[in-house]
Structure 1
Amino acid sequence: MSEYNQTVAFIGLGNMGGPMAANLARAGVRVRGFDVSEQARHEAAAQGIEITDTVVEASEGAQVVITMLPNGALVKSVIDEILAAQPDPRLYIDSSTIAVSEARDIAHKLEEVGSRFIDAPVSGGVRGSVAGTLAFMVGGPAEAYQEATPLLEIMGSSLTHCGQAGNGQAVKACNNMILAVQQIVLAEALVLGERLGLDHQAFFDVVSHATGNSWSLSVNAPVPKVVPSSPANHDFRPGFSAALMLKDLKLAMTSASETQTDVTLGRMAAEIYEKYVADGHGDLDFSAIINEVRGD
């Protein structure tokens, strides 16, 4: 059991937030949670989380507020709601994936009322959330990062302090832009190999030990059998959905525009995923983009 003796309010108990909050509760942390979904509330309650009827009720008496929500507008709304009712200084940890500028605006607002804030987006997907092996990339003051570390260590296996507020979001946007491009070019290479008569296993055996290797191949191979745990063996159930990849790519494109950075390949990846999601495939794992390359 954890020796952590502060109360944590956890807002957002969905596919990612629910298991994260459950891991905290399992470690002995008192967690008060809220979600708009009745099913999410029910599942969280079964994991030892104290469920409340409102965001404000969840935050009452909590020294730490963690948010894991679909977008920056919701994060801002939740924090505004808490501040209006309970402006007392506390630590805020946002593990949602939002724009860098949104994270920095939230940090500034909370600093003005004496609270601490870190943006702590994650990598590792639902499996990492359940297993407590998420990778946290954190932006914010060193003191706030150190304060949050005992909680982050329960939910994840890799923590990196990336500098000022917003830098966690910045590195996630950069990382996922790389991942999207890699997944697309891997799909193109695999389809080219298929049409040249190359067996998937032979392709994997060579490339996974050569300069073309990547996480997209060695862990998330978009063809069945070569990596048994990859989504391709399970009808491309995510994992990390194509819709979420598109969201992250759009955030990267926003940052590229704001900084006047030329991201030619990132922009092309965003266009490819936008078409794939618009065609109705957003709920599949992002590695299913191979079907778009095949023309399926």
Structure 2
Amino acid sequence: MAKIGFIGLGAMGLPMARNLLARGHHVCGHDASPRAIQAWVDAGGAVAPDLADLVAGADVVITMLPSGPIVLDVFERGIWPYARNGQVFIDCSTSGVPSARRLHVAAAERGHSMLDAPVTGGVAGAEAATLTFMVGGDAKVFESMKDVLSAMGAKLVYTGGPSTGQAVKVCNNMAAGIIKIAISEAFVLARKLGVEDQVLFDVASAGSAQAFALTRTCPVPGLVASSPSSRDYRNGFATSLMLKDMILAQEAAMSAGAPTVLGGAATHLYQLCAGAGLGDLDNGIVYQYLLGQQQG
């Protein structure tokens, strides 16, 4: 079993680290939040006094942090100075393509193995170890890390060379964000035309508009009991996080010279939602925002 250093014990990182522990790996954790550290200790995890100690004692170092700039800063100040030959570094954060490229370059310059491995599946997937990993980097390193990654996820997808894991993640989330808005607009229009929500749902869910964002995370309350919209938009994928991913997709599109007209429009709408104080609620709240605009 591997000796793993896990940096970032938040809503996603904590259950991921717990699942590694449950699989029999030795896991030493670190987080800037005392509350997160206590939750990790309560789960039976070991704690490193600082990053230098964590990195020195690990074969594999995993990061699960809020943003690309934070990831880069942690690597620059807390990981690279203490890294040694033979270690593997895996960034599971949604840090964006440019950040992933910088990490891979820095790792190569120092002779270290690096994988960018963002995930999809949310907190529920992290808890149940059913996450999907999108993994970019050297194929042999990916193969060597399958046992570690499979302890946290049910599906491991090798996406190609360095930064392609992040590329797939931002493309997937951009599409998901656009689709959520399209479904929300359809329900707002149907309501304005005198069609009941359930009627449109019954038709769309069995027809060409069927989508995860309709049948699993429907933005209209009361149609799907397990959807965050039926729990006052709580415990879902926050609008602020969706906005972050949409911005990452736009940054990647600009650097690649790829037109993303709908992606740009969707990003603007999520910015409006966040600006209206809805950032902490599930991104399906965009339906309520659009409904309010129509009613206004």
TM-score with structure 1 setting the length:
0.96
The answer to whether the 8 Å contact 2:56/2:82 transfers is no
Aligned residues: 292
Partner SS state of residue 139, structure 1: strand
The answer to whether the 8 Å contact 1:87/1:113 transfers is no
Corresponding letter in the other structure for 1:56 = A
The answer to whether the 8 Å contact 1:26/1:48 transfers is no
Corresponding letter in the other structure for 2:225 = P
Aligned-residue sequence identity (percent) comes to: 39
The answer to whether the 8 Å contact 1:89/1:113 transfers is no
RMSD: 1.2
- Is residue 13 of structure 2 the alignment partner of residue 13 of structure 1? no
Offset from partner CA, 1:158-214 (integer Å, 9 cap, x none): 110000110010011111111111100100101111222222222111101100111
- Is residue 71 of structure 2 the alignment partner of residue 75 of structure 1? yes
Deviation at 1:49, TM superposition (A): 1.3
Deviation at 1:254, TM superposition (A): 0.5
Match of 2:140 among 139, 143, 147: 143
Residue number in structure 1 paired with 2:22: 26
- Is residue 154 of structure 2 the alignment partner of residue 160 of structure 1? no
- Is residue 105 of structure 2 the alignment partner of residue 95 of structure 1? no
Find the aligned partners of 1:18 and 1:48 in 2 and give their Cα distance. Answer: 11
Q: Structure 2: 5+ residue runs without aligned partners?
A: none
Residue number in structure 2 paired with 1:59: 55
Deviation at 1:53, TM superposition (A): 2.4
Partner SS state of residue 15, structure 1: coil
Partner SS state of residue 53, structure 1: coil
Find the aligned partners of 1:257 and 1:238 in 2 and give their Cα distance. Answer: 32
The answer to whether the 8 Å contact 1:124/1:135 transfers is yes
TM-score with structure 2 setting the length:
0.96
Residue number in structure 1 paired with 2:43: 47
Corresponding letter in the other structure for 2:262 = L
Partner SS state of residue 162, structure 1: strand
Deviation at 1:86, TM superposition (A): 3.4
Q: Structure 1: 5+ residue runs without aligned partners?
A: none
Offset from partner CA, 1:220-247 (integer Å, 9 cap, x none): 0112222110001111013111000000
Find the aligned partners of 1:117 and 1:86 in 2 and give their Cα distance. Answer: 12
- Is residue 268 of structure 2 the alignment partner of residue 276 of structure 1? no
- Is residue 174 of structure 2 the alignment partner of residue 189 of structure 1? no
